[in-house]
Structure formats: structure tokens, C-alpha cells
Chain A
Amino acid sequence: MQNVNEWKLKDVLLIAILAVLFGVVYLGCTYMGGILYGALTPLGMASLGYEPFYGIYFIAGAFGVFILRKPGSGIIAELLAAILECLMGNYFGPIIILSGIVQGLGIELIIMFRRYKDFSYGTMILASVICSVFTMIYNLVISGYNQIAVPVLALMMVVRIVSAIIFDGLLVPVLSMKLVKAGLLKGYAVSEEMQVEIDDMGIVS
């Protein structure tokens, strides 16, 4: 019998394709972010320009863990996304892999502590907040943000958290549930668990 925690080829492909999809979406957003970045540069707040879209960075991990619900799914999903980003020729190269691990860990940590059983909005929002904090710690060390004034960092942190909550805490569960209702995620843990919830509520006879 196949281990439920084992990754099937279609799981890998789903996560990899989602990572590419959000890579393409993110690329579109970087144009918007670029305009904001340019506009904010003379004010010394350039890095704030990308913060509203920061939640999209974590979306592959959030989708991975929400749909597959198996140990390591968030981290592996982010790693796949980071390797794909490397293949797309990102100018940070393999450094992206380092941030991918941090993002995956940030998204998965609270879900891991809740033993992959609680995927409520509250948990996903908490996961988004933790992920934002983890990435900011990463920025403090790796990007040298520890040299920046605390109020500016606090503002960036707030915008990043709001972005992560919107994209990962709310949009990911909403879109995943719509996919389940459309009957597209049959065979994935999210679909099976949602079916149990629907049956428990007596909606489906």
C-alpha cells in the first residue's frame, strides 16, 4: 500500500506548475512593483514598493501545504518554486533557494505544530504572519536590513504581513475550496477532508 505521505508524480507536477504560474503572475506584478519602487526611491522607501506583492512569494508553499497536507509539503513546494525561479534566470541565482527554505519553513511551522490537521482561516493567517516575520529576519541578516531604522522596517513588516494575509491566509484557502467544489482536486488531501466536513454538516446527503 502506498504511503499517504509519499509524493506522487502528479503532486510534484501540480506544485511545480503552480510555482511557475505564480512565477509568471509575480513577474507581472514586478512591473507594478517596479513603478512603485521607482516612485518611492527619491523618498528613500524604495524597498517598500515590492512589499504589497510579497505574499505572492509564499503562495506556492501555502498552496502546497493547504492542498497536499503532508509533512514537508510547504518547504518542498517552496524549494521547487525556488529551483524553478533559478531556472528562469533570476539575477539572485541560488540565493533564491535559501530564501525558499525560509519561506517554506515559515508557512509550514504552525501547521506542523498543529499536526497537519487544522487548516482553518485562523491557522493560515497565522502561518502567513509567521512567514512574513521569518522572511524579515532573513532580510535583517542576509540583506543587511539590520542597518535600517526600526520605524521603516516596522512599516515594511506591516505591509508585508497584510500582503501575506490577503494572498496566503485568505486567497489560497478560498481558491483551493473553489477548486474542490469544482471537483478538480479529487484524490488530494484537501478534497478528502473537505468532503468529510461537508458530510458532517449534512449538506450532502
Chain B
Amino acid sequence: MKLEKWNPSVKMVTILICVLILSFQYNTVLNTTVFAVMLLSLFFFSEVNPGKVAALLVPAGFAALGLFVMGLYYAKGSSIPVKAMADVDMMPYMVRAALSTNLHTALQLATRLLAYAGMGIVFALTTDGEYFVRSLMHQCHLPPKFAYGILAAFYLMPFMARELKNVQLSFRVRNMCGNALHPNVLFTMLVNSVRWSESEAMAMESKGFCGAAKRTYCEIPEIHPADVIIAVLCIGSMVAGIFILGS
């Protein structure tokens, strides 16, 4: 079974359970293994374009690098002043000793982030947004009002990004601050948002949408035995990994 076919709600719950298990483990090898398995599963069990994986791995790698350096300098118990790092040759023995202790913490932090990112990337790239929301509606009992509200807002996104650029430009041509966080810009966008939400609600209701009434669906996502088997395999292998590698 391809990862794209895996029921999104089961996929989400599996990932969340794995994250909770990992958050209580301090095992660099386990983290790295999870990250590697996630990447391999993307290449062997999905139809994802490797370019898209790389595009998400760059910011994740960047964030991991930041955490790595942070752990290296400022691990609990043995922080190193930055000025002591300036000259490696002149680095006192104490600094080098602290660095080697901190390396373990730094690797733990960075690999944990990569493991999370690996799981997140599997979800992000193998889950169709609409299928996910429909699955939330049928498997997690998300009320239709919320499900369709989310989808309506989601499809409005490109339009909103364009509108934000227009608003920023209109402030700038009047020699006013066009920063997205400037209250004037935010206020204009908020006014637009309130109007859009009212128009969209009216449009949906005028087409007969009623969140409370019982309705029919053209396609209902279901949980198949294969979905559960994959979930059990994922969680089971992570628990087995903890016992094999030691915590």
C-alpha cells in the first residue's frame, strides 16, 4: 500500500503517538533511524517527487543546525562563553572538554528535530488536504460546519496572499509603512477578512449548506485493516527500537 492511501486520521494519530514516545527518549541513534526510515519510506512507498522532499528538508536541516549549535554551546550544566570559541588553537582544555560533553546533547536535539520533521514531511507530502479534512469529519467526528469552513478558508488563501500584497503596496505608494505587521495594514486585512467570512457564510448557506442537518457524502473515507496494521507496525517497531538500542 502506498502512503498516500493510508487513512489520514490513522496516519495522524500514529505520528502523534510516535512523537510522544520519542519526546521521552534521549537516543540519537533512534532519532536518526526514524529520520532515515521516514525518508526511505517516502522513496519506496509513495509517489512523492524527491524535489519536494528536498524543499522541505532544507528548512528542517537549517532548524536542526541551529539547535545543534545551541546545544553545543549551551547544554544544561556546561555552557561555553562564545568568546572562548573564537580561537580553536587557543581553546582551553576545559572548553574542549565541555564541547565533547555537549556534543551528545547537541546531537540529541538536532536529531530529534529531524525525526519529527521526517514524520511531518511524510504526512505533509503524502496526504491530500481535502482527503485529510474529510477523514477528520468521518473518523474524528469533526462537525461538517468546521470541516467545510476550514476548506473554504484554505481555498481563499492564494486570494488573501494577493490581497495582502495589494494592501501593502497601496500603503507604500502613499509613503506609509507597508509592513505586514503594521497595525494599519493588519486592520485593513482584518476588515477584509470579516467581510469575506460573512460573504462566504452567506454564499454557503444560500446554496443550502447547513452544518446541523444530516447530509449525504459522495465519498466516505474508511479505516481498512491495512491502515491499522501499518499503524501497529510503525508504533511497534519504534518501541522495539527503544528496547534494542536502549534508551
Contacts and interface: CB of A to CB of B under 8 A. Distances in A.
A198 interface: no
Contacts of B113: 143
Contacts of B160: 17, 20-21, 24
Contact of A44 (B73, B77, B183): B73
A85 to B, nearest CB: 10
Given A24-B164, A46-B66, A175-B187, A92 B153 contact: no
A134 to B, nearest CB: 16
A25 B194 CA distance: 16
A89 B126 CA distance: 10
A113 interface: no
Interface stretch (B11-19, B89-97, B218-226, B235-243): B11-19
Given A20-B153, A149-B75, A151-B79, A91 B70 contact: no
Contacts of B154: 16, 20, 84, 87-88
Nearest to A178: B187
A25 B160 CA distance: 10
B69 interface: yes
Contact of B75 (A21, A148, A178): A148
B210 to A, nearest CB: 8
Given A13-B201, A144-B112, A98 B16 contact: yes
A156 to B, nearest CB: 10
Interface string B191-216: 10111111011001100010100000
B149 A28 contact: no
B204 A9 contact: yes
A13 B180 contact: no
A151 B78 CA distance: 12
Interface residues of A, number: 65
B103 interface: no
What's the interface size class on B, roughly?
Answer: 35 or more
A171 B129 CA distance: 31
Contacts of A80: 146, 149-150
Interface string A136-160: 0000011110111111100000000
B153 A13 contact: yes
Interface string B111-139: 01100110111111101010011001000
Given A44-B72, A149-B76, A152-B70, A90 B120 contact: yes
Select the residue from A24, A29, A41, A147 with max chain B CB neighbours within 10 A: A147
Contacts of B71: 147-148
Interface in B143-158: 145-146, 149-150, 152-154, 156-157
Given A25-B181, A28-B180, A93 B123 contact: yes
Interface stretch (A103-111, A116-124, A125-133, A179-187): A179-187
Contact of B189 (A21, A34, A83, A95): A21
Interface in A147-205: 147-152, 171, 174-175, 178-179, 182, 184-185
A93 B79 contact: no
B60 A91 contact: yes
Contacts of A179: 187, 190-191, 194
Given A17-B196, A178-B187, 15 more contacts: A9-B204, A10-B197, A13-B200, A13-B201, A38-B62, A45-B74, A93-B121, A93-B124, A94-B16, A143-B113, A144-B26, A147-B71, A152-B70, A175-B183, A184-B191
Interface of A: 7-10, 12-14, 16-21, 23-25, 28-29, 34, 37-38, 40-47, 49, 76, 80, 83-84, 86-95, 97-98, 141-144, 146-152, 171, 174-175, 178-179, 182, 184-185
